Structure 1
Amino acid sequence: MARRRKLTAPSSADLNRIEEEFRRETSGASPMAPIAQVAAEAAQSVPVTDPDVRAENARNASIAKEMQKSEAAGLLIREIPLEEINPEDMVRDRAQLAEADMMELRTSIAASGLRLPIELYELDKPDGNVRYGILSGYRRFKAVQALLALTTASKYSTIKALIRQPGSVPDAFAAMVEENEIRAGLSPFERGRISSIAVQMGVFASTEESVNKMFSAASKAKRSKIRSFALIFEELGDLLAFPEALSEKQGLRVAAALRGGAETALREALGGSLIDSASAEWAVLEPEVAKFEDNARDDRKGGRPTKKARIKGQGAEVKTSTGYVIKREEDSRGYVIRIGGRAVDNEMMDVLVLELQRLLERP
């Protein structure tokens, strides 16, 4: 049987020696764990703030965040110096600014201020202080610029603006056209002009793409007419003095003549005439357009028909030497003319309708 060890209490000398050794080993050490000590020191360094002050700081931080989001979304109206804006960075769809309209706009801004901000976009390559181009509000900018030149008043040295960033240059063109279409409808020629210029600048690959993108809300027939006026701008734009005065009917007739090869005759007529009014310009164009239409109606230039026309009864049909098929039908509401055989586009149908109108209006 194991003998039990007898425990004896340490003497006072032993206790003093143990205590002294403990003090030497723990001298300078913190009684807290390191992480607890760091937390304590951080807590001591933060001043105690009033709850109302903390709430106000939180509100200010929230407002600042919302302001940053609004600015990024183009919802924040800013005062931009005119000298930082290049109004001609983007070719405008409106060819001319009517002085009477501009005078009215300047008077309104002088009396009541600019009520509607313009829209700007940041230039990819700023030039000195010039940082922005105009997306919409070109007329408003020019009016404020004129007021600054006239009055030198400092209030006209800046303009209210929204800074937007279209996803691409094509989107910028579309936005500009949409703004003018809504506020002040463009003339048919102006629509065609900007569509053609956008292609020439390389923004779009073709006139069709340009028209479809910038006038996406327009009907198919309207886009077809815009393409016709784009052709007029491309072929005659450098010679026409009053192109915005061309009506849709006149423009479609001119476009049809151009497609038929009348470009040289029309350019010679315009280049050899002194034109001082829209009516005088049409008086020069119309005889040449009429010659083309007369030639188009001349059956002798169409060759022999491939098949003799049937001219009586339901379903009378005519085939042209160019492959078109014209068929007459009748129902309870009257006669119907169908055209097929080859692809028929809106431009051709517009010309045919105008030709029918001319024939029916003759005495």
Structure 2
Amino acid sequence: MAKRKRLTPANPMFLEPAPETKSAVAAPLRAPIADVAREASATAAAEEMAHSMAQARAQGRMVIAVPLAQIRRDHLTRDRVTVDEDDMAPLIESLRARGQQTPVDLVDLWPNKDGPRYGLISGWRRCLALERLHAETGEAQFAEVLALLRRPQDSSAAYVAMIEENEIRAGLSYYERARIVLRAVEAGAFADAGAALRGLFASASRAKRSKIGSFTTIVSALDGALQFPRALGERQGLALAQALEADAGLAAKLAATLRREAPETAEAELALLRSTLQPARPDRPKSHPVSVQVVRRSNREVSLIGEAVDEAFLKDLEAWIAKRRV
């Protein structure tokens, strides 16, 4: 019978992990290519976004919030002579209820260090409405205006932008159109009134530009003397312009009359202009009664005797008889 071999238990020392072998040379680190690439990509994306935003801002494709105090509203001579409160009231209520829906147009005046940073091109009424709301409520949301930065090629392009907006949003009077023509020439945006008319009102018909040109005569003669120039209609304005061109002394006469009378309403001012323009009627000579004697000769014959029986009298009589026969 075979002898069985007795097995001894396993030595626990043999089950422990092998001792760590250390080398004098450090193991090579993992190459950080992925990390470098990721960081470079993030940096490039951030730079591209910053560049795109700066470009969009400069090109007028990004709406920005600008404090009203940083806007120079008289950067351009405004085309509006007066503020129509009937038009302002609904605009103010709309801004109060819904906020500003349409941005204004600004130009960056940098590096101008004196005064506001931005110049207003269009949106004067919205800025005025926001200013009134801020003064009334004190709310910070009305202290800023949403704006687009524009880069007009020159001052004439800026004036065109202002005119285009107001022609679309709220029509200007002929007087206001004529006034901005002359102010644009004075500012050096155009060489003369003809160039300003063609540039500012390129889309208008030739007849309309001609009427605006006629109103420039009124602006040159009476700007500042008229208190309600927007009320001057097309027909009366053209008649006034024609009268001013025909009479060199009429402008001074009208200005003196307007200052002396100081009409308080548009109707009173228009009536004053009409009365001044109407030529004085010559006094009619007083008529003396002239008798006509009627002598009846028979049932079929009548004679008319007197100084009034002349050729004109007979023609009137014949016409009267002819009407009676019809």
Q: Distance in 1 between matches of 2:271 and 2:90?
A: 33
* Stretches of structure 1 lacking an aligned partner (at least 5 in a row): 1-43, 295-363
User: How far is 1:67 from its partner?
Assistant: 2.1
Distance 1:194 1:45, change over 3 A: farther
1:83–1:129 Cα contact (<8 Å) kept: no
Of 239, 264, 271 in structure 2, the residue corresponding to residue 283 of structure 1 is: 271
Of 125, 131, 154 in structure 2, the residue corresponding to residue 145 of structure 1 is: 131
* 1:121 partner letter: V
Of 133, 136, 139 in structure 1, the residue corresponding to residue 122 of structure 2 is: 136
Aligned match of 2:64: 78
Of 234, 237, 247 in structure 1, the residue corresponding to residue 233 of structure 2 is: 247
Of 225, 229, 246 in structure 1, the residue corresponding to residue 211 of structure 2 is: 225
* 1:81 partner letter: P
* Stretches of structure 2 lacking an aligned partner (at least 5 in a row): 1-29, 282-326
Kindly report which structure 2 residues correspond to 1:38-187, keeping only aligned pairs within 5 A, or say none: 47-49=33-35, 58-123=44-109, 126-128=112-114, 130-187=116-173
User: How far is 1:129 from its partner?
Assistant: 5.8
Aligned match of 1:191: 177
* 1:94 partner letter: R
Q: Count how many residue pairs are aligned between Structure 1 and Structure 2.
A: 250
* 1:277 partner letter: T
User: How far is 1:50 from its partner?
Assistant: 7.6
* 1:49 partner letter: D
1:117–1:161 Cα contact (<8 Å) kept: yes
Distance 1:267 1:65, change over 3 A: closer
* 1:221 partner letter: A
Tell me the TM-score normalized by structure 2. 0.70
Aligned match of 1:235: 221
Identical-residue share of aligned pairs (%): 36
**Cα deviation per residue 1:161-198 (whole Å; 9 max; x = unaligned)?**
11111111111111111110111110111111111122
Give 3-state SS (helix, strand or coil) of 1:252's partner: helix
* 2:177 partner letter: R
Q: Distance in 2 between matches of 1:248 and 1:165?
A: 35
CA RMSD of aligned residues (A): 2.5
Tell me the TM-score normalized by structure 1. 0.63
Aligned match of 1:270: 258
Between Structure 1 and Structure 2, whose CA radius of gyration is higher? 2
Distance 1:284 1:68, change over 3 A: same
1:106–1:143 Cα contact (<8 Å) kept: yes
Which is further off, 176-185 or 57-66? Answer: 57-66
Larger relative contact order, structure 1 or 2 (CA cutoff 8 Å, min sep 6): 2
